[in-house]
Amino acid sequence: MSLHFHYYPFPALAYGCSYYASYTTKRTLSTHRRIPPHSSTFSVITNLFSRNPNFLTRNTLFLRMQRFCSVSGVSKNKAMVERLQRYGVITSSKVAEVMETVDRALFVPDGAAPYDDSPMAIGYNATISAPHMHAMCLQLLEENLQPGMHALDVGSGTGYLTASFALMVGPLGRAVGVEHIPELVSSSIENIQKSAAATQLKDGSLSVHAGDGRQGWPEFAPYDAIHVGAAAPEIPQPLIDQLKPGGRMVIPVGNIFQDLKVVDKNSDGCISIRTETSVRYVPLTSRENQLRGY
């Protein structure tokens, strides 16, 4: 075995972005097959920050690597997915297929670079996560996004991941997005209507609702898969309650320092929680707090 550095696209840590902390040293096989990250990546981040006061600016090696590694200027969604596959971010053929089918350009603001591996502001102090974060969450939830299953997307934003969930669970399943900014709900529905998930929006197996995502969406519970697109100080109990036995939730937890948590509910209802990696998301908060100062 040998040691390799893996530099993945890393956006500036501005308010409302997420990042995948996988630029730490990874131990890989000689075939360069990537080993999934683990919670020790967090200590590497904090060490880097303490050593380099410019870590949160664009004056770092990692941010220069982002410009090198990003798919800026590539106009095709498929090329973005293939790039993420080459870097070992996407390892699932099903996730690759879904991300090729759901064109990211339909879910980002006009004038944005849709295929850059970077989070983007979508208004209302909210963001759409970078493609590598979407890929990670889809892969973590893949076994719970099988045809006929129910999926909940909390903080659904522009609707990208909700549409992806819908394609994975199919018309016999149910994909539900919850977003507490009504304007984002309206625009996300318009985005989905232009996408490959439009038929499921029409037949009702996909729906987006205005509401407080911290309370989940009980109407279609229990859910096999729950994704939360904003960081909670602690895991909301209503989301745990709405998770089906055998189900899985992926949720960023923390304030300044955040971890992506994988929450599994066993068949007997017992909960197990593990940390996947360190992340940076906008806070999961009330509508009023989110819009403060906007």
Check residue 64 and give its pLDDT: 39
Does a structural domain hold residue 14?
Answer: no
Does a structural domain hold residue 31?
Answer: no
Does a structural domain hold residue 235?
Answer: yes
Task: Name the band, by pLDDT with cuts 50, 70 and 90, for residue 27.
Answer: very low
Task: Name the band, by pLDDT with cuts 50, 70 and 90, for residue 75.
Answer: low
Would you call 129 a catalytic residue per the annotation? yes
Residue 80 identity:
M
Model-level pTM? 0.78
Q: How far apart are CA 145 and CA 167, in angstroms?
A: 9
pLDDT tens digits, residue range 78-128? 999 999 999 999 999 999 999 999 999 999 999 899 999 999 999 999 999
Does a structural domain hold residue 20?
Answer: no
* Residue 159 reports pLDDT greater than 80: yes
Q: How far apart are CA 204 and CA 155, in angstroms?
A: 19
Element spanning 15, H or E:
none
- Number of separate helices (H) and strands (E) present in the chain: 10, 11
Residues 62-89, mean pLDDT to the nearest whole number: 68
Strand partners, 176: 152, 207
Task: Name the band, by pLDDT with cuts 50, 70 and 90, for residue 76.
Answer: confident
> Pick the catalytic residue: 18, 129, 187, 207?
129
Give the rounded distance of the alpha carbon of 246 from its chain centre: 21
Cβ neighbours, 10 Å, residue 105? 16
Question: Mean pLDDT for the chain?
Answer: 80
Residues 38-46, mean pLDDT to the nearest whole number: 34
What is the domain extent for residue 103?
71-292
In the chain, pLDDT over 90 holds for what percent of residues? 72
Neighbour-count burial for 117-150, b at 16+ CB within 10 Å, e otherwise: bbbbbbebbbbbbbbbbbbbbbbbbbebbeeebb
Q: How far apart are CA 180 and CA 154, in angstroms?
A: 9
In the chain, how many domains are there? 1
Q: Report the CATH number at residue 174.
A: 3.40.50.150
Does a structural domain hold residue 63?
Answer: no
Does a structural domain hold residue 126?
Answer: yes
Check residue 157 and give its pLDDT: 97
Does a structural domain hold residue 55?
Answer: no
Report CA torsion sign: 143, 189, 124, 90: positive
- 14-28, 37-51, 77-91 — which one is most confidently predicted on average? 77-91
Does a structural domain hold residue 28?
Answer: no
